[in-house]
Amino acid sequence: MTRPSPDAAAFTALQAKLLALLGPKGVISEPAELAPYLLESRGLHRGSTPFMALPASVEEVAETLRLAAEAGIAVVPQGGNTGRVSGALVLPEHGAILVNLKRLKQIRAVDPIDNAMTVEAGCILAEVQAAAAQADRLFPLSLGAEGSCQIGGNLASNAGGIHVLRYGNIRDLVLGLEVVLPNGEIWDGLSTLRKDNTGYDLKQLFIGAEGTLGIITAATLKLFPRPRESVSLFIALADLEAGLELLSAAQDATGGGLCACELIPGIALDFTLRHIPGSIDPLEKRYDWHLLMEATSGQAGSGLREALESVLEEAFTRGRVPDAAIAASEAQAKAFWHLREALVEAQIREGASIKHDISVPVSKVPSFLRQAAEAVEALQPGIRPYPFGHLGDGNIHYNLSQPPGMAPEAFLARAPEIQSKVHDIAVALGGSISAEHGIGLVKLAENARFKSAVEQDLMRRVKDAIDPAGLMNPGKLVSKL
Amino acid sequence: MTRPSPDAAAFTALQAKLLALLGPKGVISEPAELAPYLLESRGLHRGSTPFMALPASVEEVAETLRLAAEAGIAVVPQGGNTGRVSGALVLPEHGAILVNLKRLKQIRAVDPIDNAMTVEAGCILAEVQAAAAQADRLFPLSLGAEGSCQIGGNLASNAGGIHVLRYGNIRDLVLGLEVVLPNGEIWDGLSTLRKDNTGYDLKQLFIGAEGTLGIITAATLKLFPRPRESVSLFIALADLEAGLELLSAAQDATGGGLCACELIPGIALDFTLRHIPGSIDPLEKRYDWHLLMEATSGQAGSGLREALESVLEEAFTRGRVPDAAIAASEAQAKAFWHLREALVEAQIREGASIKHDISVPVSKVPSFLRQAAEAVEALQPGIRPYPFGHLGDGNIHYNLSQPPGMAPEAFLARAPEIQSKVHDIAVALGGSISAEHGIGLVKLAENARFKSAVEQDLMRRVKDAIDPAGLMNPGKLVSKL
């Protein structure tokens, strides 16, 4: 990236051109109006830029990028700004404007026969789910921010969430893409085809590229049959290995019927029961580890519940599951999931925390949790591991609460050393330092520590081939590679 | 591609170096021994090259490519040589050697807990399926050549087959790859992780690239629960639309339980019953269109059969399905599938044929078949459309048998014009000219006719970034783009 820094006059000239192109709704420069788009989602960092463009169609996005490229001004694409790694943050040194996609919010087509829908980048994930449901289909991506994140951001960051076990990450849910390239050209790769073997799979390059190769303006998404039956189970585990056994046995008995398998540690239940009003432990005693499982079937009367009851009985008999509850109603299932969703908020009430988004092979989750617990206790005695998340796909949010009574700032100062150690352990087990949140700005240095030189070089070559001027989301993902 | 043509001395020098590296089993230059590797799978074209290298490990592949690059000699990778588009054919003008991967045949790991297996490029697909089954898991890729095609070739050509409807193409079945790059570097992208968001998805670039970006030496593949129940149905259709209705209704009733949904026209059944000994029509009367469906469930006692019986009854009542047979035994199911597999051979007995591998959105299959039938009859009166294949994913092998009595050569001479027209119709309906066979040499010109300039440019940029010297499978896939 040897791009010269654009001067203030260049920004002013571009702003005038974009105002003429997009109209007054299409350019925001008023500091108060701009402020929420400049603040990173956890409120940790605040960016700065002269203005933000809000094109309302793919043609307007294309013309915006063409004009920006002409001016030598870089572009930071932004969706719902709910990301966890500052991927949509624009800093002064980026010499960039924000381009927000929220006005591209058309659902262009829903086709239940082809099991496909085409949506624009600015559609809220929950709206996409609802449009699919209205056509009696399922769009399975589901995550905490679904009420405000946008599908374009989900695509750019390859969003994961709680249903990856069954349906994969969003990259597995895409049939086609429409992308505006850094020079303002439009690549129309939209398609409802299930089979098309006529060249390189370009769409997967843009998915998960965090806006460093172009701006995704629309996507054709896969739809699935809607569940007709659903069973939620809250299960106490004899130990961590019992979690793996249960996962395998339940998948076996239901033919891969699990759509979620979440790990909930005793400490997270303790915090939640203490801090979140209305929380109820589904079981009578306290246990160190639990699984929250959900299985679904698209076939009514499939015997799903009976199959899972047999699995539990067998595990109970062998002493691997001391207790368990099967939701008897939709309300009870919701109460189980309320506990899972309250974990994050509950941890905040217990003071400062240091977070991770690691993954390891599913079989290695118990080893990881034991090694990491030992290592972080050695680095910071009294630290309270609070690991929760997606056991079914090996993605654990390895959060750590401060020792009681320690000054939060002193604890947070330990973050780099602790994170580095946790990442070492995950990678040594064949794992990843970022399972679903991406790299953005926050994990650049750590990523560079682990990526092989060969892979860094390949990524750099792809970046230079598609964005030779380095105008797309500078300073992110591939910046230090 | 401005690579200078290497001279004979360069080939001789490289052959000597590779003989020293790989030993006598690692280099074949004897014409009789070389002959089968030079013949395209349908016997239509014969290539030529001074010799073929057969490295036996990833390190040997790396050193082979490094030495070839040093000599400025290009490389045509070859697996089982079962492809349909001459992708592994080496012609004199390519200035290349063959590198065959058959000696890389280790199954490195099978892990049922992680639902993953790591296999080398030279493993036969059927061996991979068997190794998965031995661990009580399913590797779902299945296609006609499975007894001789190699997994490396399946990956390079993004193989499809009969289970795409449920499990996707092979590109959907891969967790990680090991690739030797054109300069001889090894990219170790093997991984059993289900979630890893730390950079561009490089593996999808190499899958389906037909060896134009590097050589895939190993892959980590996804495994699935094995079916515990299976139901095969042979269904006569009132018309083509009834096929779509049945597909939707069956998917609905089984929650996406179909793993195959094949279209079989009356003419294909006629030819098969006429020419293939032991063939039996499962139904009493002749119909114009049939579906061969297979549904499976990984859950025993799931009520799959009953669900499908209800679908058939309902369609029968409405006059959409005049007759149908549900296999009462595994032997009967095999007899249904024997018919499907015999279609290709049966057509050969009826004279010359012109073939296509198109796909359209599933909803457009009836329109495509009607438009194409009309168009080809206009171009060649008496032509006999013989369309069969994967209705469930929109991929129809639109084969055409010669008019009875016409000279085969005269019929085949019409191929370019007819193929061009059929492709026009498919693409106008949002379809593809190559659903699962790829581009290779055979479809280069047609592909260039339909790919947008933007997409051709993107592919070219990616090719130049990863293979700047143009040494990998020259003259294929991206050659004319």
Distances (CA, A) of A440 to A13, A84, A86, A417, B280: 29, 8, 5, 20, 61
Q: Nearest CA to CA, how far is A271 from chain B (Å)?
A: 28
Estimate to the nearest angstrom the gap between the alpha carbon of B214 and the chain centroid.
Answer: 19
Task: Collect all residues with Cβ–Cβ distance below 8 Å to A131 and sequence separation of at least 6.
Answer: A107, A110, A117, A119, A139
- A307 contacts in chain B (CB < 8 Å): 299
Q: Minimal CA–CA distance to B476: which of B439, B447, B448, B450?
A: B439
How is residue B1 written in tokens? Answer: 């591609």
The nearest CA of chain B is from the CA of A53 a distance in Å of 25
| Strands B224-225 and B107-111, bridge-based pairing | unpaired
Cα angle value A361/B211/B77 (rounded, 5°): 105
Residue with the two structure tokens 């190993």: B218
CA pair distance B167, A222, nearest whole angstrom: 13
Q: Which residues, 6 or more positions from B73, have their beta carbon under 8 angstroms from its beta carbon?
A: B6, B10, B11, B14, B95, B96, B97, B471
Q: Residue A66 contacts by C-beta under 8 Å, 6 or more apart in sequence?
A: A183, A184
Judging contacts by C-beta atoms under 8 Å, the chain A residues touching residue B466 are 458, 461-462
Q: Is residue B265 a contact partner of residue B346, using CB atoms and an 8 Å limit? A: no
Nearest to A193 among B208, B394, B465 (CB): B394
Contact A455 B363 (CB under 8 A): no
Determine the Cα–Cα distance for residues A442 and A479; give it in Å rounded to an integer.
Answer: 12
Task: Compute the distance between CA of residue A157 and CA of residue A210 in angstroms, rounded to an integer.
Answer: 5
| Token pair recorded at residue A184 | 């303002």
Q: How many CB pairs under 8 A join A and B?
A: 287
Q: At B4, give phi and psi (nearest 5°).
A: -70, 145
> What integer pLDDT is reported at residue B309 of this predicted model?
97
pLDDT tens profile A353-383:
999 999 999 999 999 999 999 999 999 999 9
B-chain CB neighbours of A194 within 8 Å are 164-165, 168, 359, 362, 393-395
**pLDDT in single tens digits along all 481 residues of chain B:** 456 778 999 999 999 999 999 999 999 999 999 999 999 888 888 999 999 999 999 999 999 999 999 999 999 999 999 999 999 999 999 999 999 999 999 999 999 999 999 999 999 999 999 999 999 999 999 999 999 999 999 999 999 999 999 999 999 999 999 999 999 999 999 999 999 999 999 999 999 999 999 999 999 999 999 999 999 999 999 999 999 999 999 999 999 999 999 999 999 999 999 999 999 999 999 999 999 999 999 998 889 999 999 999 999 999 999 999 999 999 999 999 999 999 999 999 999 999 999 999 999 999 999 999 999 999 999 999 999 999 999 999 999 999 999 999 999 999 999 999 999 999 999 999 999 999 999 999 999 999 999 999 999 999 999 999 999 999 999 985 4
Determine, for residues A363 and B114 on separate chains, whether the beta-carbon distance falls below 8 Å. yes
Q: Chain A 429-448, CB below 8 Å of chain B: which residues?
A: 430-439, 443, 447
With an 8 Å Cβ cutoff, is B241 touching chain A?
A: no
C-alpha–C-alpha distance, residues B300 and B465, integer Å:
50
Residues in A touching B198 (Cβ below 8 Å): 432-434, 438-439, 443, 447, 450-451
User: How do strand A395-401 and strand A215-222 relate by DSSP bridges?
Assistant: unpaired
A473 touches chain B (CB under 8 A): no
Q: Are the beta carbons of A292 and A325 closer than 8 angstroms?
A: no
Q: Do B462 and A297 touch (CB under 8 A)?
A: no
Average pLDDT over residues A259-269: 98
How far is residue B247's CA from residue B459's CA, in Å, rounded to a whole number?
Answer: 35
Cβ contact, residue pair A481, B204, below 8 Å: no
pLDDT of A1 higher than 80: no
* Cα B390 to Cα B260: distance, rounded to the nearest angstrom: 8
Q: Which chain A residue has the Cα nearest residue B456? A: A199
The one-letter amino acid at A196 = D
B-chain CB neighbours of A115 within 8 Å are 362
Chain B 283-342, residues with CB within 8 Å of chain A CB atoms:
297-299, 301-304, 307
DSSP line for B426-455:
HHHTT-BSBSSS--TTTTHHHHHHHS-HHH
Q: How far apart are CA B312 and CA A283, in angstroms?
A: 45
Q: Show residues of chain B in contact with A209, CB under 8 Å.
A: 200
Half-sphere exposure of B364 (CA within 13 A, CB side): 22
The pair of structure tokens assigned to B339 is 């018919």
Token pair listed for B176: 């990680």
**Is B345 near chain A, with CB under 8 Å?**
no
Cβ-based neighbours of B404, under 8 Å, separated by 6 or more: B351, B382, B384
Using the Cβ of A153 and the Cβ atoms of chain B, whether some distance falls under 8 Å is answered with: no
Q: Which two tokens stand for residue A100?
A: 């927000």
**What pLDDT does B1 receive?**
46
Sign of the alpha-carbon dihedral angle for A437, A441, A442, A448: positive
Cβ contact, residue pair A303, B302, below 8 Å: yes
* Residue in A445, A452, A375, A358 with CA at minimum distance from that of residue A414: A375
Which chain A residue lies closest to B138 (C-alpha atoms)? A255
Chain B CA closest to residue A178: B455
The pLDDT value recorded for residue B2 is: 53
- In whole angstroms, what is the distance from residue B165 CA to residue A114 CA? 11
pLDDT value at position B480?
58
| Of residues B181, B197, B464, nearest to A438 (C-beta) | B197
B-facing residues of A in 370-399 (CB < 8 A) are 390, 393-395
With H, G, I as helix, E, B as strand and everything else as coil, classify residue A188.
Answer: strand
pLDDT score at A313: 98
Interchain contact, A187 vs B454, CB within 8 Å: yes
Per CB-CB distance under 8 Å, the chain A contacts of B166 are none
Q: Which residues of B touch A447 (CB under 8 A)?
A: 198-199
CA dihedral sign of residues B393, A192, B312, B296: positive
End-to-end Cα distance, chain A? 11
Q: Which helix (H) or strand (E) holds A101?
A: none
Cα distance between residue B424 and residue B422, in whole Å: 5
**Nearest residue in chain A measured CA to CA from B432:** A196
Under a CB-based contact definition with an 8 Å cutoff, are residues B478 and B459 in contact?
A: yes
**Mutate which: A226, A299, A423, A441, vs B, most B CBs within 10 A:** A299
- On the 0-12 / 13-18 / 19+ scale of CB atoms within 10 A, B25 is exposed
Query: How close is the nearest chain B Cα to the Cα of A215, in Å?
Result: 15
- Residue-level pLDDT at A480: 58
Angstrom distance (rounded) from CA B416 to CA B5: 31
Cβ contact, residue pair A454, B181, below 8 Å: yes
Name which residue leads in pLDDT, A438 or A301.
A438
Q: What 3-state class would DSSP assign to A82? A: coil
B82 touches chain A (CB under 8 A): no
The answer to whether B230 contacts chain A (CB < 8 Å) is no
At B392-408, the pLDDT tens digits run 999 999 999 999 999 99
DSSP state of B170: G
CA B70 – CA B117 distance, rounded (Å): 34
Work out whether the CA dihedral B426, B427, B431, B434 comes out positive or negative: positive
In this complex, the residue of B185, B254, B363 whose CB is nearest that of residue A111 is: B363
Q: Which two tokens stand for residue B146?
A: 């499975």
User: Looking at the complex, does the CB of residue A138 fall below 8 Å from at least one CB of chain B?
Assistant: no
Please give the span between the terminal C-alpha atoms of chain B, in angstroms, as a whole number.
11
The DSSP element (H or E) to which B375 belongs, if any, is: helix B365-379
- Residue A4 pLDDT > 90, yes or no? no
Residue A443's pLDDT is 96
User: Residue for token digits 């129309």?
Assistant: A188
Q: How far apart are CA B380 and CA B410, in angstroms?
A: 11
pLDDT given at position B479:
81
A455 close contact with B: CB closer than 8 A: yes
